[in-house]
Structure 1
Amino acid sequence: MSAHDRVLIGHGTENDFVVLPDPDGTAWPDQRLDAAVVRRLCERRAGLGGDGVLRVVRSEHVPDAPVVLGEALGSCEWFMDHRNADGSHAEMCGNGIRLFLHVLVTEGLLDRAACAAGVLVGTRGGPRRVGAAPDGGYWVDMGAARPFGHGEASLDGATFAGRAVSLGNPHLACLTDVDVDTLDLTTAPAVDPGLFPDGVNVEFVNVLEPGSHVRLRVSERGVGETRSCGTGACAAAWTALEAGGAATGTVTVDVPGGRLTVRVDERTTVLRGPAVVVAEGSLTREWLGG
């Protein structure tokens, strides 16, 4: 099996990814991993299928890493080169970065015990500390949620008021009394392009227990509906706490793909959840040349 065609498939609460191990940056450089190849990899009928692609690579081999990481570059040996299913670059993914660390551990590139206190990983949303939890899952310090206004999402003739929140990538978290399971998310919600010039992930959120438990579905930019969104879970938890008049708290977040936990304090937001590698294999010459 050549390193230049080796692939892994994995997920975090069923937010699934094609993972490309490329520690030395030689197997999948930018000129090979272009938008068209990403789209082919993520295609669920003609490709491997996934909500995105994660390239596991050292930061020194990522051309834009110095720009997005700044002074933190030297502290981030590893970089999560994340692409959306449409081929565009993504800033941050809470489910993806847990899977990213899990792959570093299972590939023998990092020792799990040494990750208990967390390691810094570079992303296009900046450095993020991610660590191995005692229960076998992983935690991510997502940074502070940064609200930047209010907006609306239009879906199937209805309008949903939402809170614009950044977790390194933009979100519109819409608390609603409409049962989220009844919504048709086969079409992306319409939003204000002035507020979201680069697109936005839209969360539709039912509050099950004020301040402690929510359920959500999400439409991710460049992907469509996914089974889970880690940054979206954080945005939803933060918005639910704010709506209840609280600045801190721990919120259980149910997504179609499982359950996540989000802790919000005065300084940051911490996401906890599982990560699983499902399979490994290699791309065939037939497919690569197709």
Structure 2
Amino acid sequence: MRLRFTKMHGLGNDFVMLDGISQRIKLSPQKIRRLADRHLGVGCDQVLLVESPRTPDADFRYRIFNADGGEVENCGNGARCFARFVRERRLTGKHRLLVETASGTLELNLLDDGRVSVDMGAPVLEPEQIPFAADVRAESYPLEVDGETWLIGAVSMGNPHAVLLVDDVDSAPVETLGPKIEHHERFPQRVNAGFLQIQSRTQARLRVFERGVGETRACGTGACAAMVAARLRDLVDDEVQIQLPGGTLTIHWSGPDRPVTMTGPATTVFHGQIVI
């Protein structure tokens, strides 16, 4: 199978974009792992597939596959790249898009300055819907890992996140603690682990260990989840600049039942073809 693809990234979180509308694509976990392989394939954190919508109100359907071949529900950085991709490939002329995902419909807006703003919907905080094993909903939860207890926020932004507050993200145990939290038994579908350093009411730093990927240079849903976890504890204002290793995202959230808005860049790297 010969595939046309575009390599893109959102703050260094990189993707292989596939147009499943103008070419027939049949993906398997093995093919996805080959595409994502940085030595034998194109190389990426995730493979993103554009498809025709299933409902009349949506413009596209958007599917997301991690580098390990598993399909996941949502990806904020990928959503921004998705919006740029369908415009650049002339699949649409719109600046506002409604896109189906496994976790619901996203609203994407291409701004005049080249950035993309994404309405990520309201965060899910009920433990059973995240899903996370807890008796009652709380602003934070104790999580025991190897005999040590960590205080986390648990949030779903269409995919599950555990957010830990740290004094310094540079020295945070992302590489060692991240995979243990990802596979923690209280998260039955695994979880993305975010390590958040609050700098002020409007500034924060974040590193994210993504399930099925490892640490990435940026995670859009992770930044949204971190904002929500911090806002619930009244540590930040309604709008926060969150600095990730790959760059900065602007996250706005005014409180429970309100949507989270994420704004940031999306960059095209190159186009190509590969035989799988």
TM-score (norm 2): 0.88
Structure 1 residues 85, 151: CA separation in 2 closer, same or farther (over 3 Å shift)? farther
Give the % identical residues: 37
Corresponding residue number in structure 1 for 2:124: 146
Cα distance in 1 between the residues matched to 2:214 and 2:60: 28
Structure 1 residues 34, 236: CA separation in 2 closer, same or farther (over 3 Å shift)? same
How big is the shift at 1:185? 3.3
Corresponding residue number in structure 2 for 1:208: 199
Structure 1: gaps spanning 5 or more residues? 61-72
TM-score (norm 1): 0.84
Q: Are positions 1:237 and 2:223 aligned together?
A: no
Q: Are positions 1:252 and 2:206 aligned together?
A: no
Cα distance in 2 between the residues matched to 1:133 and 1:13: 17
Cα distance in 2 between the residues matched to 1:93 and 1:78: 15
Counterpart AA for 1:263: H
Which of 3, 15, 25 lines up with 1:28 in the alignment?
25
Q: Are positions 1:272 and 2:258 aligned together?
A: no
Corresponding residue number in structure 2 for 1:134: 112
Which of 77, 80, 92 lines up with 2:74 in the alignment?
92
Q: Secondary structure of 1:75's partner?
A: coil
User: For each residue in 1:18-53, what CA deviation from the matched residue of structure 2 results, as whole angstroms up to 9, or x when unmatched?
Assistant: 1111215x5213xxx100111111111111110010
Corresponding residue number in structure 2 for 1:69: none
Corresponding residue number in structure 2 for 1:121: 99
Corresponding residue number in structure 2 for 1:68: none
CA contact (8 A) 1:121 1:129 kept: yes
Q: Are positions 1:46 and 2:53 aligned together?
A: no
Cα distance in 2 between the residues matched to 1:271 and 1:143: 10
How big is the shift at 1:200? 0.4
Corresponding residue number in structure 2 for 1:189: 179
Corresponding residue number in structure 2 for 1:167: 157
Counterpart AA for 2:64: H
Q: Secondary structure of 1:134's partner?
A: coil
Counterpart AA for 1:251: V
